[in-house]
Amino acid sequence: MDTFMRAHKRFKQRGVALAIAYMVVGALVTLSSGFIASTVGELRTAQYYNNSTKAFWVASSGINQFMKDPAYLDAGSKTITVGSNTVLLSKTDGATERVVRAESTVSGTKRTIEITYPSNPPGLFSNTMTSGNNFNLTGLLARLDVYGKTRIGGSYNQSGFLAVAYFEDRQTGQGTASTTLRYPDANGNGVSDEFADFKRFYQDECNLYTPTEVEHVVVNSGDSVILYPNKKNVGKRLIFVEGPNPGDGSIDIIFDAAWRSSENLTIVSTGDVNYIEPLQLGVNSKLNIVAWQDYNEASILYSAHSGVTYAHDDANYYSVLNYSVTKGNVIANDNINAMEALTWKRFNYESPFDAQGSAPPGFSGLIGQATAGYVTTPSSWREI
């Protein structure tokens, strides 16, 4: 009996030891599996970051290749080899910008870098003042300074008493193509730059903006509109006053429709635009003006204006007892007439493009007709 009990006890002890051994082995296996899985995961993560870093620097090499040689992609996209990897380099030339993209994939990990070059304005928008016909100054104790380029289709004429003009770069007798702005055949009848094209062009432009950014006013024959400083115009991008006939829908701008800071508004009329310059303009604000007929500006005391001004006919400036500074571009398909008395008026060039490389509202389709190349330094760099 005692012998049986001792044998039974030894058997139980061995069974417990075996169970403990299995538990220990199971725990070790579990720990080992977790350790192996963790190690494999870390290796995969490390490999991913290694591949991602390689892909990034390979893509950067492609970007650097283009920056060294901007003509590199003139024949189209290219795949280039960097070490044991490749990068696809492509570019897209648009109306207002050039976009260059480099895409590299290393072991399934892709990195893409994109840089943007704003476009240079076409010839007309590279000038401070452009007249399709003559530039006429009539002055009484008056001074007119134009910094930047002045291009005149006809001649420069000056008259009056003690009237003085300074042009940094003036050329007369220029061709129509470089001194007039023509509208495309927007209505598709085969003839460009008609009144119907002008109306259709801006009808289409209005559709590019949200309802809060645009105001399209249709008036009757003989009607005109007066624009006062008004909070409802803050944030507007385009105001188009459309009349049925040339000369209808003229606009009188009292002071400034872009009186707030950081506004960029374009006012378009199928008639004349008459603008009384403000005593001050909001910081970083632009007021761009388009008139199918004449642009008439009156200023007194101190005034300032920034933006693009276009008149399909004449641009007329009237100043009395005034010091004023206009920054931007003035384009008149016919004459520019400056009538000054006891004044000093300055025109300074300012690119029509904003910091993001965008054309003024209502001008993108016009500037995009003939891009004069692109700037040499990219304006943005990003990974996409």
Dihedral angle of Cα 347, 351, 354, 356, to the nearest 10 degrees: -160
Residues 102, 194, single domain; the answer is no
Is residue 143 in a domain? yes
Task: Provide the residue type at 319 as one letter.
Answer: S
Is residue 363 in a domain? yes
Residues 292, 322, single domain; the answer is yes
Residues 107, 149, single domain; the answer is no
Containing 3, the helix (H) or strand (E) segment is: helix 2-68
Q: What is the mean pLDDT of each run of 10 residues along the chain (384 residues)?
A: 53 60 63 59 74 90 89 89 90 82 91 84 83 96 95 96 95 90 85 91 92 94 86 86 95 69 88 79 80 92 87 94 90 96 93 79 70 70 87
Residues 154, 38, single domain; the answer is no
Containing 303, the helix (H) or strand (E) segment is: strand 295-311
- Of 199, 83, 164, the closest CA to residue 343 belongs to 164
Is residue 285 in a domain? yes
Residues 154, 287, single domain; the answer is yes
Residues 61, 130, single domain; the answer is no
Residues 247, 177, single domain; the answer is yes
Q: Residue 261 gets which letter from DSSP?
A: T
Is residue 260 in a domain? yes
Residues 66, 166, single domain; the answer is no
284 in Cβ contact with 259 (< 8 Å): no
Model confidence over 270-290: pLDDT tens digits? Answer: 999 998 876 555 667 888 999
Instruction: List all residues 6 or more positions away from 318 whose beta carbon is below 8 Å from its beta carbon.
Output: 296, 297, 298, 299, 339, 340
Q: Strand 135-152 relative to strand 156-171: parallel, antiparallel, unpaired?
A: parallel
Residues 92, 21, single domain; the answer is yes
Is residue 144 in a domain? yes
Model confidence over 246-276: pLDDT tens digits? Answer: 999 999 988 654 466 778 899 999 999 998 8
Q: Which residues pair with 216 in a beta bridge?
A: 240
> CA-based angle 326:148:284, to the nearest 5?
40
Q: Strand 286-291 relative to strand 295-311: parallel, antiparallel, unpaired?
A: parallel
Two tokens, residue 6:
């001792």
66 in Cβ contact with 87 (< 8 Å): no
Is residue 71 in a domain? yes
- The DSSP result for 286-300, as a single string, is EEEEEESS-EEEEEE
How many domains does one find in the chain?
2
Residues 171, 287, single domain; the answer is yes
* Burial of 287 per CB tally in 10 Å (0-12, 13-18, 19+): buried
State pTM to two decimals.
Answer: 0.68
Is residue 372 in a domain? no
Residues 263, 352, single domain; the answer is yes
Residues 143, 75, single domain; the answer is no
Note down the domain range covering 223: 123-367
Model confidence over 212-232: pLDDT tens digits? Answer: 999 999 999 999 999 876 777
Two tokens, residue 203:
């009808």
